[in-house]
Amino acid sequence: MLEERLTSWEEQLLPQGAGVIVGVSGGPDSMALLHRLWSAAAEKEWNVTAVHVDHGLRGEESAEDADHVQSWCRQQSIPCYVERVDVMGYMRKHGGNKQAVARELRYDAFYRVAQSVDATHVAVAHHADDQVETLLMRLLRGTGTQGLTGIPRRRRWRGMWMIRPWLHLSRADIRAYCATHRIPFRHDTSNEDPVYTRNRVRHELVPLLSSFNPRFDEALLQLSELATDEEQVWERLTKEAFHNVCTRVHEKGITLDIDRFNRLEVALQRRVIKLILNCLVKKSANEVDWQAVERVRTLTTGDNPSAQTPLPGGGWVQRQYHLLRFFSSAEEAKARAVPSSVSLQLPGEMAWGEGRICAQFVAGVPSATGRGLEAAVFDWERLPPALAVRARLPGDRMRPLGLGGSKKVKDLFIDAKIPQQERDGIPLVTAGNDIIWIPGVARSDIALCDADTRKTLVLRWTPDKGAH
């Protein structure tokens, strides 16, 4: 029966002819997984490679683990790599949690070996008891329904597939497999140390909960399966909402329309924010907690049109009237801030809102003058002094070229079919009290170039890449 269950999941997770590296600590779970995959390798045409990572955290015991894995692989003729990483050295330089750093360096080692052997899959030996412990730890820390999905059986990882073939089996199932096939394994004494939360959950909390319901682990795993199924629906709805409310997505930031966002149900608002934060935060995803999400939501409903707040992992979010702008760093937020007014750099280039403005001088009149597009030219000697860039203000008016009079900037935006949620992100270039250029919208009738022009100011606007 056990063999049938193993074969069923293997066929779903690992296709015929796949290259797979197996993370092997030397403990019973990973040794059994390596044995199982290697035993089926010839029939399935799998290219199986073992990888052991020595973290150097347990002295002689760590070295003995590496020797054990290497020796057994040599006996079985299994290709084996031993990677050594310096967890404590990394922490002295960068800080961090020891368990988290060890995991990061271990998975980096997996990636290096996978690349060197052209593997398409990475197999690790998490099992059902690990899943139960993970779910309990998330509940203790605080989690949403997304957290109840637990450890995924299969996911994309650095261009490969991370798979967990043992996830449907218990620790007892795996020990029985080791006994049946006489697989030798090591015992990691750190798994008994109560300083680690997972060990306390395993040795104290799980037995306590089992005293209330001997089958509580089955109930918790069933809840996780239900949450996983429902998350697939939520994921689709969240992506649809994200594309509906976001006006711009680029490498260093994301902008959303507050009016559209506030029309979403609260549950979708939270999920859209978490999706954005996870995109920006990346390695600090564990820091994207409920408090961080709620801080962002508060910005969309408050009265302050320029409110801002830091994000987990060093990111930043700013409100700019009808827009909410997320940045990967505070430095990027500062560079992309939209001030009330700033002097135009002449000549030079400056970041402004959702793009960059470049100003340069040329002799005479350039062949391309541009009108109401991403470039405009002006007779420098006829321009009023004090050129600046600012956002639009209520009641703004401009004298567009060819109109013969002034017109409200609001109406110019409407005529140019600029969506309302994007208007606050478009710069207005002013000379004195006059608006002389709105990129992509209109150029004024001030300082036109002609045959007598000796020096021309050329302005260009380059929007950030990645707009919807």
Task: Give the Cα-Cα-Cα angle 29, 30, 32 (nearest 5 degrees).
Answer: 70
**Among 57, 3, 68, residue whose Cα is nearest residue 30:** 68
Q: Is residue 315 a known part of a binding site?
A: no
Q: Is the dihedral of CA 389, 392, 395, 400 positive or negative?
A: positive
**Among 340, 337, 371, 339, residue whose Cα is nearest residue 354:** 337
3-class DSSP state of 377? strand
Which alpha helices (DSSP H) does 216-349 contain, by range?
216-245, 258-262, 266-281, 290-301, 330-335
Based on the number of CB atoms within 10 Å of its own CB, is 369 exposed (0-12), middle (13-18) or buried (19 or more)?
middle
Q: Is residue 30 a known part of a binding site?
A: yes
Q: Where are the strands (E) in 11-88, listed by range? A: 19-23, 47-54, 80-84
104 Cβ partners below 8 Å, 6+ apart? 283
Residue 396 tokens read as 């703004």
Q: Is residue 147 a known part of a binding site?
A: no
CB 447 within 8 A of CB 378: yes
At 110, the amino acid letter reads: F
Based on the number of CB atoms within 10 Å of its own CB, is 182 exposed (0-12), middle (13-18) or buried (19 or more)?
exposed
Q: Is residue 26 a known part of a binding site?
A: yes
Q: Is residue 28 a known part of a binding site?
A: yes
Rounded Cα–Cα distance for residues 85 and 55 (Å): 5
Rounded Cα–Cα distance for residues 342 and 417 (Å): 27
222 Cβ partners below 8 Å, 6+ apart? none
Q: Is residue 419 a known part of a binding site?
A: no
Residue numbers belonging to the annotated binding site for ATP: 25-30
Residue numbers belonging to the annotated binding site: 25-30
